[in-house]
Structure 1
Amino acid sequence: MKTMYDVQQLLKKYGTFIYTGNRFGDLELMEMEVNELYQLQFILPEDYTVAKLIIRRERSQLHDKKG
C-alpha cells in the first residue's frame, strides 16, 4: 500500500465507499473506518499503520495547499 487509492481499495474490499465532496471529511471518515477495521481485527497491524500514515500524509498535503 503506497497511495490513497490503495487505502480506498482496502476499504472497498470491506464494502466501504467514502465520498462526501469534502476531501478533509473524506479523510476523517477513512481514518475512522481504518481504525474500526483494525479494532475488529479485519486488517493486519502493518496495513493499519501504513494506511494511517498515508491518510496523515494526505491530510498534511491538503493543509499545506490550503494554508
Structure 2
Amino acid sequence: MDNEQVIRTLYDVQQILKQFGIFVHLGHRIWDIELMFEELKKIHNAKLIDDKVFKSAVLVLKREHRYEENNLKHERGI
C-alpha cells in the first residue's frame, strides 16, 4: 500500500479495497459504504494498511454515509 496515497473520495476507498481483490456492490449506495467500512477494518486489523490510510478512508466513508442518510431523509420528507 502506497503510504503517500491521498484518499479523498469514495472512489479512492474503492481503489484501496480493489488492491486486495475486494469489490463491493450491493445495489444500494449506503449498504455499499457500510460493507466497505467492514472490509476496510478487516484489512487494517490484518496490518495490510497503515493507520493513516485507514483513518483517511474511514473519514471519507463517514462523510459519504452522512450524505446518503441526509438524501434518504430528504426523499422521505423527514
TM-score range, shorter chain: over 0.9
Identity %: 33
State the secondary structure of the residue aligned to 1:21: coil
Question: 1:24 deviation in Å?
Answer: 1.4
For structure 1, the 5+ residue unaligned runs are none
Question: 1:45 deviation in Å?
Answer: 0.3
The structure with more helix, counted as a fraction of residues: 1
- What is the RMSD of the two structures over their aligned residues, measured on CA atoms? 0.6
Length-normalised TM-score, structure 2: 0.83
Letter in structure 2 aligned against 1:66: L
Aligned equivalent of 2:49: 43
For structure 2, the 5+ residue unaligned runs are 1-6, 74-78
Length-normalised TM-score, structure 1: 0.96
Task: Show structure 1 runs of 4+ deviating over 6 A.
Answer: none
**Aligned match for 1:30, one of 29, 36, 60:** 36
Question: 1:63 deviation in Å?
Answer: 0.8
Q: Which has the larger radius of gyration?
A: 2
Larger mean Cα displacement after TM superposition, 21-30 or 9-18:
21-30
* Separation of aligned partners in 2, 1:66 and 1:22: 11
